[in-house]
Amino acid sequence: MAQLEGRVALVTGASRGIGAAIAKRFAAEGASVAVTARSVEPHETLPGTLLDTVDWIEEHGGEAVAIQADLSQPAAWPQIVARAREEIGEIDILVNNAAAAFYLPFTATSEKRFRIAYEINLHAPWNLAQLVYPGMRERGEGWILNISSATSHHPVGPPFDDFAQTSTLYGSTKAALERVTTGLAAALYDDNIHVNSMAPVAAVMTEGATALGVVPDEAVREAESLEAMAEAALALCSTTDPAMTGRITYCSPILAELGLPVRTLDGKETLEGPRADQAPRP
């Protein structure tokens, strides 16, 4: 039986990259998936749309619905959940993946960008969790996964490199998200709702990360694949282990800890490992 058969998942930021990969992997394991992002139309410079994600899922025999929404607008949060419930049912799994990744010096960071970063990266995950919690509590189980970043770590210095200076805003939102993760895990433990965060050890070379061009060379060399991120997300959103909650996890280490292989997004092939340049096993 597929690991997520009969489950309903909501994945934010799923037009491309990590969110799209997670949505596809979940659908391959039997979940009905609601995917949301700011636009369903092609981006000016980046490939991938919500409709592309839905089309891939449906072509592989799954069920998905695209919900256009701007997560920087609080009014959108209840609308997303209401639409998902109406289209595919009560939400069992919430993956907060959408993020505003501004890499700017302190002196060049506007109040508007500061607000948007916190609305999308922290306030939206908090409020979406509040909105899906009653249904999870009623059914006696649920899974919330917050996608974080290694930028939550405090920079090393002095001296400080350029990345340490430009990743302050993004990193601070992810550090706050990780603290929210452990707090929600404690608050929802008695309701059998698993709450975890997961991040790449260094980076995932998504379309967005490549376009930004701000990922340090060392992180590029250690980059993990979209397939690995999706597999780790699947593990954290299907676990029934009562001890597997409140974890601030990282992609390769959690896969190694659980002894799990990386599979293709359709679940049909096993890959050699978490690196993006590793090929399927013959």
Number of domains the chain contains: 1
In a domain, 199, yes or no: yes
43 within 8 A of 13, measured Cβ to Cβ? no
- 107 located within any domain: yes
Residue 222 in any domain: the answer is yes
Q: Are 253 and 45 in contact (CB under 8 A)?
A: no
* Residue 280 maps to a domain: no
Closest-CA residue to 197 (of 210, 209, 208, 182): 182
Return the HEC string of the chain. Answer: CCCCCCCEEEEECCCCHHHHHHHHHHHHCCCEEEEEECCCCCCCCCCCCHHHHHHHHHHCCCEEEEEECCCCCCCHHHHHHHHHHHHHCCCCEEEECCCCCCCCCHHHCCHHHHHHHHHHHHHHHHHHHHHHHHHHHHHCCEEEEEECCHHHCCCCCCCCCHHHHHCHHHHHHHHHHHHHHHHHHHHHHHHCEEEEEEECCCCCCCHHHHHHCCCCHHHHHCCECHHHHHHHHHHHCCCCCCCCCCCEEEHHHHHHHHCCCEECCCCCCEECCCECCCCECC
Can you give the pLDDT of all 282 residues of the chain as single tens digits? 799 999 999 999 999 999 999 999 999 999 999 999 987 776 656 678 999 999 999 999 999 999 999 999 999 999 999 999 999 999 999 999 999 999 999 999 999 999 999 999 999 999 999 999 999 999 999 999 999 999 999 999 999 999 999 999 999 999 999 999 999 999 999 999 999 999 998 878 655 554 445 555 555 555 799 999 999 999 999 999 999 999 999 999 999 999 999 999 999 999 987 776 666 654
In a domain, 150, yes or no: yes
Give phi and psi for 119, each to the nearest 5. Answer: -65, -50
The pLDDT value given to residue 217:
53
Q: Identify whether 45 is part of a domain.
A: yes
Instruction: For residues 145 and 16, give the distance between their C-alpha atoms in angstroms, rounded to a whole number.
Output: 18
Evaluate whether residue 62 is within a structural domain: yes
| Residue 42 forms part of a structural domain | yes
Which CATH number goes with the domain that contains 219?
3.40.50.720
Point out the catalytic residue in the list 103, 118, 133, 170.
170
Expressed as residue numbers, the domain containing 64 is 8-271
pLDDT at 258: 96
Residue 277: the pLDDT is: 62
Is 170 one of the catalytic residues? yes
The whole-number pLDDT of residue 39 equals 77
User: Rounded CA gap, 197 and 63, in Å?
Assistant: 25
* Sign (positive or negative) of CA dihedral 45, 50, 51, 57: positive
**pLDDT value, residue 282:** 47
Contact 14, 36 (CB under 8 A): yes
